[in-house]
Amino acid sequence: MNPISIGVIGCGNISDAYFGGAARSKLVRVKACADLNHAAAQAKAAQYGVAAVSVEQLLADPEISIVINLTIPQAHAPVALQVLDAGKHVYLEKPLAATLKEARTVMARAEAQGLRVGCAPDTFFGAAHQACRRVLDRGLIGKPVGGSVAVLSHGMESWHPNPEFFFKPGGGPILDMGPYYIAQLVNLLGPVARVVACTSIGNATRTVTSEPLNGQLIQVEVPTTMNGVLEFVSGANVAMSASWDVWAHKRSFIEIYGTEGSLLGVNPNFFGGVPMVCKPNEDWQPVDISAHPFGQDNRALRSGAQVADYRIVGLLDMAAAIRQGRAHRASGALALHVLEVLEAFERSSITGAHITMESSCAQSDAVPLGAGEEVFA
Ligand SMILES: NC(=O)c1ccc[n+]([C@@H]2O[C@H](COP(=O)([O-])OP(=O)(O)OC[C@H]3O[C@@H](n4cnc5c(N)ncnc54)[C@H](O)[C@@H]3O)[C@@H](O)[C@H]2O)c1
């Protein structure tokens, strides 16, 4: 079958993961890329053998049926609406939009046009996270009752070449890192019923220490520390901490406590790792993830550590799902629910109240066992 032609809008830092992932895939082919900064599009076009065009040219190309939107969060909704108005499906980097209101507009437009919205994160497709899902689906720790999630570091101004957007609406540890954790929690436990939280800003300004903007001052406009609780429709409740004000800690990424045992998950920013299960009065045992796709290490981090990173599989699943007439897993509905949860943390802190979710979403089907993208075929 011919690969589906796709376009990429936004040729910055994360775009290499998508260009590289698409180049390895039989399901899609990047035909063209565009960026407000045309030089950025030209550089990626030369590197990956695609055409650099203007946003308008890309949207006017009848051969392109799906556009990946890798712009900054503030541009996610405006660019997604342009894509939908051009009659094309859109797949975005997270968060779905900078605000829930914008995200709802995007979803309503897609529904009116009969088009699909897909959205990162797709890390929950990863072998380690799907293996955790299988542990729960098979009842190995009984009924999930509680849990704990921690995403704690000291922020982005030390490495990203243009880190300002991380501290503006749509950024911050809640909206920037939160989607990985909430998407995985929904994958494991289903939709959220309500949340409560306290938030704060550690430093009103941040000084960039990465190049080329070393020394530039950023005004922080979003909370940088949050402690909250999520209550799921299933009845389970999970404590979540998200912060970019933390220099050191000893908490694990994600833990689920069930009536018959505990599950220790792995970093939901990546796809691999070794989850652990502990049954009552026994020792922790590793969970075998080898039967699941998307778990082999394939990328070196700046630290030199090897990780499994298959960003783009959510888009590949959407491309296959369009052909097969089935639902895709990294859906706009999931991303909208995730965004509502994340926005509710701050609203809860401001109002002092529990915030009940208006949106919901189906827990997506588990990713089939297998070796690679053929599991979508
Ligand atoms: N950098 C990462 O490691 C990473 C990881 C996962 C997800 N993300 C997400 O990916 C998105 C992009 O992040 P990034 O780090 O690549 O940012 P970036 O600033 O490096 O790149 C964004 C690009 O989008 C372009 N752009 C902005 N507005 C545009 C518009 N209206 N039309 C066309 N082009 C436009 C910019 O010129 C820039 O080249 C963000 O939502 C971020 O949260 C980033």
Q: What is the pLDDT of residues 30-39, one digit of tens each?
A: 999 999 999 9
The mean predicted confidence, pLDDT, of the chain is 97
Give the integer Cα–Cα distance in Å for 248 and 292. Answer: 32
What is the average per-residue pLDDT within 163-191? 96
Is residue 154 a contact partner of residue 210, using CB atoms and an 8 Å limit?
no
What is the average per-residue pLDDT within 256-272? 98
Q: Which residue has the tokens 């652990």?
A: 276
Q: Does the pLDDT of residue 157 top 80, yes or no?
A: yes
Q: Does the pLDDT of residue 1 top 80, yes or no?
A: no
**155: confidence class by pLDDT, cuts 50, 70, 90:** confident
Identify the pLDDT of residue 131: 98
CA 75 / ligand 1 centre spacing (Å): 9
Of 44, 102, 104, 38, nearest to 76 (Cα)?
A: 102
Residues facing 29 on adjacent strands: 5
CA 251 / ligand 1 centre spacing (Å): 30
Q: Is the dihedral of CA 177, 178, 181, 187 positive or negative?
A: negative
Give the integer Cα–Cα distance in Å for 194 and 355. Answer: 5
Counting ligand 1 atoms within 8 A of each CB, the residue from 13, 47, 151 with the most, and so the one to mutate, is: 13
Identify the pLDDT of residue 354: 98
Identify the pLDDT of residue 319: 97
User: Same topology for domains 4-119 and 127-292+332-356, yes or no?
Assistant: no
CA 310 / ligand 1 centre spacing (Å): 18
* DSSP per position, 11-80: -STTHHHHHHHHHH-SSEEEEEEE-SSHHHHHHHHHHHT-EE--HHHHHH-TT--EEEE-S-HHHHHHHH
**342: confidence class by pLDDT, cuts 50, 70, 90:** very high
CA 60 / ligand 1 centre spacing (Å): 22
**302: confidence class by pLDDT, cuts 50, 70, 90:** confident
Counting ligand 1 atoms within 8 A of each CB, the residue from 8, 72, 156 with the most, and so the one to mutate, is: 72
For atom 38 of ligand 1, which residue has the closest CA? 12
For atom 6 of ligand 1, which residue has the closest CA? 14
What is the average per-residue pLDDT within 212-224? 97
Is residue 20 a contact partner of residue 30, using CB atoms and an 8 Å limit?
no
Identify the pLDDT of residue 191: 98
- Under CATH, which architecture does the 127-292+332-356 domain have? 2-Layer Sandwich (3.30)
CA 70 / ligand 1 centre spacing (Å): 5
Q: What are phi and psi of 256, to 5 degrees?
A: -125, 130
What is the average per-residue pLDDT within 21-50? 97
Of 21, 124, 127, 11, nearest to 70 (Cα)?
A: 11
**119: confidence class by pLDDT, cuts 50, 70, 90:** very high
What is the average per-residue pLDDT within 160-168? 94
Give the integer Cα–Cα distance in Å for 159 and 13. Answer: 11
What is the average per-residue pLDDT within 267-272? 97
Peptide bond into 62 cis (omega under 30): no
Identify the pLDDT of residue 259: 98
Structure tokens at 95: 């968060």
Domains of the chain by residue range? 4-119, 127-292+332-356
Counting ligand 1 atoms within 8 A of each CB, the residue from 19, 37, 58, 70 with the most, and so the one to mutate, is: 70
Give the integer Cα–Cα distance in Å for 76 and 56. Answer: 16
* Residue 197 half-sphere exposure toward CB, CA atoms < 13 A: 30
> Residues with Cβ within 6 A of ligand 1?
9-15, 35-37, 40, 55, 70-73, 75, 79, 93-94, 162, 176
Angstrom CA distances, 279 to 104, 140, 199, 267, 350, stand at 42, 8, 35, 22, 40
**Is this structure's pTM higher than 0.85?**
yes
**53: confidence class by pLDDT, cuts 50, 70, 90:** very high
Q: For the domain covering 4-119, report its CATH number.
A: 3.40.50.720
**209: confidence class by pLDDT, cuts 50, 70, 90:** very high
**193: confidence class by pLDDT, cuts 50, 70, 90:** very high
